[in-house]
Structure 1
Amino acid sequence: MFSTRDFVTAGINVLGAIDALEGALARATSGADSICVTEHEKDLICMGIVDARFVLSTHGLQADKVLTLLTIRLASSLEVSRTKALSALSELRTVEALAAVDAKANLQAIAA
């Protein structure tokens, strides 16, 4: 069984990835086809994706392909397609909601 701390940490890391992607998107010009991320944002995004996989696996789900593609792209470059970034952002928001539900359920189980 996973602890509450696992889901809370996962949720925080997913939120960090969301924030990093939103920051990179905000810096890019509106017509740009790609965005550039900093090394720090890259680290936050990669940690968030790892924890997103953890949360999804606890629900018997697999990570969306866009998260895998984003990870591969970040391994070789700090430039990411705007469309992939927006898709990953949407997927990460869904995972963050799952992590929040899991953390709350575990807290209620502990309290009972």
Structure 2
Amino acid sequence: MLERVIEVDKAAHILKLLGDQKRLTMLKLMDNHACCVCDFVKIFQISQPAVSQHLRKLKDLGLVYEERRGQWIFYSIDKEHEYYSFVHLVLEQLPSQDDKFKKLEEEGIRTSCC
């Protein structure tokens, strides 16, 4: 992972995006897993359009990419992105969020796309 200097305005924009708890949690989850919109709908108990808006903001930055698997689209962090090392510094300070997936599985509500 290359350490890069980023401009203050870009850093401020990234930190503003990370300032939203849902987006920050999404990134933490996507740092280790490819996630479907339906995962986030169930985890956060918010609508699909709300999840899509959060993902769009992260995609607009270029940090998140999508991969189609059949009829489903999975989202992941682009670890090669020029700002990943900056974001990773924040993400590595956070506790694992994997328990959210485990809870869905235990409740039997993890969707079939996953």
Both proteins in one fold, TM over 0.5 = no
Higher RCO (CA 8 Å, separation ≥ 6 residues) = 1
- Structure with the larger strand share: 2
- Structure with the larger helix share: 1
Which TM-score band (shorter chain)? Answer: 0.3 to 0.5
